Structure 1
Amino acid sequence: MVQILVVEDNPVNMELTVDLLESYGYAVVQAEDGFVALQKLQDEDIDLILLDIQLPKIDGLELLARIKSDDSTRDIPVIALTAHSMRGDDERFISAGCIDYVSKPIDIKGFREKLHFYLGNLN
């Protein structure tokens, strides 16, 4: 089963994202900050990371840099999640190492299609 790590500090956003992912048939691992995410990446077999960019302790871009600099995690695809989208953010996240970008609130249909595009062959 495909396993997705959701890194999200807002409990309401986490619950919505987890509910959506589970309804699509994915297994979900949750992390409320970057330090927890790094630990989960060592403990779990993760196929995709959904990464909130606005995080406490370690911001999303710093966490992304750590993920991409580690041989054991660098090949895991990362999709950025953020509510504060500004012009050019998507290019900034892609150039930092994300494969794609999803703005919050999540467009449910588009979100499912995006996940299927990246994970369809794994499910």
Structure 2
Amino acid sequence: MADNKVLIVDDDNRNIFALTAVLKARGYQCISATGAEEGLEILTNDGDIAVVLMDMMMPGLDGYEAMARMRNSPELKDVPVIAVTAQAMLGDKERCINAGAAGYISKPIDVDELIRMLNLYVLTE
């Protein structure tokens, strides 16, 4: 198992590019999906993903529904999800955690905070 593989699910390629650059520089393997449907497909086919960074607001299937599907899947229910959202409003963190997220981070992303969160779920050695 690749203990440092992170799946980034975001509908904005600029966010994927920036997160991938930062995480690869710190020793993480990154794969990405530009939508939740694609992200769920990757998760289903790749058992090596240690953690998912999930954008919550995407067209079509959003992060909340994607997490609900993961929690209802025996194969995916234990994969930790860190919710990533630009909606840093009161109650958003609780909504994400209640939906099944293991963690929550708002945009613009504080890289040090993100790395601390990832280190709870990912081995970089």
TM-score by length of 1: 0.93
Gaps of 5+ in 2: none
| Corresponding position: 1:104 with 2:104 | no
CA RMSD, 1 decimal: 1.1
Task: State the partner residue of 2:89.
Answer: 86
1:53 maps onto 2:56 in alignment: yes
Q: Does 1:34 align with 2:36?
A: yes
Give the equivalent residue in structure 2 for 1:71: 74
Instruction: Tell me the distance in 2 between the aligned counterparts of 1:7 and 1:116.
Output: 19
Per-residue CA distance 1:25-59 (angstroms, 9 max, x = gap)? 11111000011111101221211000000112101
| 1:115 matches 2:91 | no
Taking the aligned partners of 1:109 and 1:62, their CA distance within structure 2 comes to: 28
Runs of 4+ more than 3 Å apart: none
Aligned length in residues: 121
Scaled by the length of structure 2, what TM-score is found?
0.91
Q: Compute the displacement of 1:118 (Å).
A: 3.1
- Cα distance in structure 2, aligned partners of 1:12 and 1:47: 23
